[in-house]
């Protein structure tokens, strides 16, 4: 060993050291980020405006477009660089303008329910006895030729409710798919005979209604999801032979003047002459479903991303790499906004140079703050790096650098082209059973202190990634 040149000896020691031990953490800057984010936060201004003032932001709806323009203007006023909108083709927008569902016989009762997204209007207020083709005790053939123009209940009494959230830091919600033995037959019948409106139960309970939807085009049928308790009540009355009469009306509007949706992009430009054009990126989706106000899915993520950039801009950071954020559209319809961005800028042979300049993408979606860490998607080299980054934030609860994976959100668009993409580990308490895609996704479900904490975490990891000597290591190709 004594004959080994000193330079070689030191190089061997350096190579043998854990990756996290090589991280240069600017603890003074982390302290400034914490102070600005915890003591001078403005995160609730963004969250309140998106949730209470604008409300639900269904992709391509008027409210979504309002949110796009408001967010762009907010980023411009913050003094960020290169703030712009990137359009991508989506389709028609939609807005619900009126919905009533009432039981008027054997007694009067308002019914909890919500139209599916992109549901057409009914032809006025329909008052009629419902046709329950979802009754498993009856032969479907008895209803052939009787569905056109009717109020049709398509499912049996619902008994399998969503009653448990996923465990902490466990990745995706795993729940056995529910199916009805006669689904195929019912779908075929509804395709032949156009009902006036279909009714189905949500699998939430306590009045929680899970609602999504899609544009059925010219073949779309007015469709409503009812609270399971109210749907079951109607079905049980019918099961006992007690006549029921319902009154149902949907008024909705489609918008096809502009069939684009938009991603909002902003950045703080890198200053290092050698690596300033390399990119560190974070994102969250601006769109939501339409029954709640899109608080946990995903106004909290948007507010945190914007606040993280405000913190860094206020502190006057001069990042070595460019720090960029994206506010995606169309996530709820299949990660469409992030996929469009990756296709335009990073995919294929034309995107090779940009991929070579791309360091890492952080995403904020599934669950609600606080952020307790990040899913590292099996990237073992990233684990000690993330642990070093989070160490100054351990006292804020950010301690998890799991190699686990999670799906169903926008980091997957980056992973699909071989880039590092990490979704934050967040709290799932009441997320899966109560707020995710429901009418209960409201302001009250999110903690102001948790949003402040999350903003500090995001600002810190963006800064650390932008300042380190090397880009983030990529998982080995499979």
pLDDT at 178 (0 to 100): 65
Instruction: Supply the pLDDT for residue 6.
Output: 40
Model pLDDT for residues 341-395, shown as the tens digit of each residue: 999 999 999 999 999 999 999 999 999 999 999 999 999 999 999 999 999 999 9
In this predicted structure, what is the pLDDT of residue 419?
A: 98
Distance of CA 165 to the CA centre of its chain: 17
Averaged pLDDT score across all residues of the chain: 94
The pTM (predicted TM-score) of the whole model is 0.94
pLDDT number for residue 108: 98
- Judged by DSSP in three states, 43 sits in helix
The parts of the chain modelled with pLDDT lower than 50 are 1-20
Tens of pLDDT along 395-405?
Answer: 999 999 999 99
Q: What is the pLDDT of residue 18?
A: 47
pLDDT at 305: 98
Q: How many CB atoms lie within 10 A of CB 160?
A: 10
Cα→Cα distances 158→99, 228, 439, 452, 460, Å: 23, 6, 19, 40, 46
Which of 360, 232, 419, 315 lies closest to 34, judged by CA?
315
The pLDDT score that the predictor gives to residue 13 is: 35
Task: Tell me whether strands 358-363 and 279-285 are parallel, antiparallel or unpaired.
Answer: parallel
pLDDT of residue 181: 74
Residue 377 · residue 421 · CB < 8 Å:
yes
Q: Phi and psi of 382, rounded to 5°?
A: -80, -25
């Amino acid at each position: 060993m004594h004959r080994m040149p000193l330079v070689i000896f030191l190089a061997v020691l350096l190579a043998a050291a854990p990756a996290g031990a090589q991280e240069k953490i600017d603890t003074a800057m982390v302290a400034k980020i914490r102070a600005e984010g915890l003591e001078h936060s403005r995160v609730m201004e963004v969250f309140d405006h998106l949730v209470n003032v604008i409300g639900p932001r269904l992709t391509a709806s008027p409210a979504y477009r309002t949110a796009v323009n408001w967010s762009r203007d907010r980023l411009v006023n913050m003094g960020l660089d290169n703030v712009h909108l990137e359009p991508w083709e989506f389709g028609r927008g939609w807005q619900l303008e009126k919905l009533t569902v009432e039981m008027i016989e054997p007694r009067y009762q308002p019914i909890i329910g919500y139209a599916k997204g992109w549901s057409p209007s009914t032809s006025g207020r329909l008052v009629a006895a419902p046709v329950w083709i979802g009754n498993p005790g009856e032969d479907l053939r008895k209803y052939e030729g009787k569905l056109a123009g009717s109020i049709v209940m398509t499912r049996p009494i619902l008994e399998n409710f969503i009653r448990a959230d996923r465990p902490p830091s466990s990745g995706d919600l795993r729940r056995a798919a529910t199916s009805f033995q006669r689904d195929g037959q019912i779908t075929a019948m509804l395709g032949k005979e156009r009902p006036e409106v279909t009714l189905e139960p949500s699998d939430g309970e306590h009045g929680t209604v899970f609602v999504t939807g899609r544009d059925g085009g010219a073949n779309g049928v007015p469709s409503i999801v009812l609270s399971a308790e109210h749907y079951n009540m109607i079905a049980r009355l019918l099961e006992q032979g007690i006549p029921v009469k319902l009154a149902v009306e949907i008024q909705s509007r489609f918008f096809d003047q502009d069939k684009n949706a938009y991603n909002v992009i902003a950045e703080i430009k890198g200053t290092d002459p050698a690596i300033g054009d390399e990119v560190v990126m974070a994102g969250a989706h601006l769109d939501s479903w339409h029954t709640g106000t899109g608080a946990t899915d995903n106004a909290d993520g948007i507010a945190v991303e914007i606040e993280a950039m405000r913190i860094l801009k206020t502190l006057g950071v001069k990042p070595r790499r460019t720090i960029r954020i994206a506010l995606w559209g169309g996530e709820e319809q299949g990660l469409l906004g992030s996929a469009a961005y990756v296709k335009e800028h990073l995919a294929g042979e034309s995107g090779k140079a940009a991929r070579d300049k791309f360091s890492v993408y952080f995403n904020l979606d599934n669950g609600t703050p606080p952020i307790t860490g990040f899913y590292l998607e099996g990237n073992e080299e990233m684990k000690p790096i993330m642990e070093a980054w989070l160490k100054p934030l351990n006292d804020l609860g950010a301690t998890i650098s799991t190699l686990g994976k999670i799906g169903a959100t926008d980091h997957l668009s980056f992973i699909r082209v071989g880039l590092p993409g990490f979704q934050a580990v967040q709290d799932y308490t009441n997320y899966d059973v109560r707020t995710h895609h429901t009418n209960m996704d409201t302001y009250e479900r999110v903690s102001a202190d948790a949003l402040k904490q999350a903003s500090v975490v995001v600002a810190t990891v963006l800064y650390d990634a932008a300042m380190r000597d090397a880009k983030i290591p990529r998982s080995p190709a499979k």
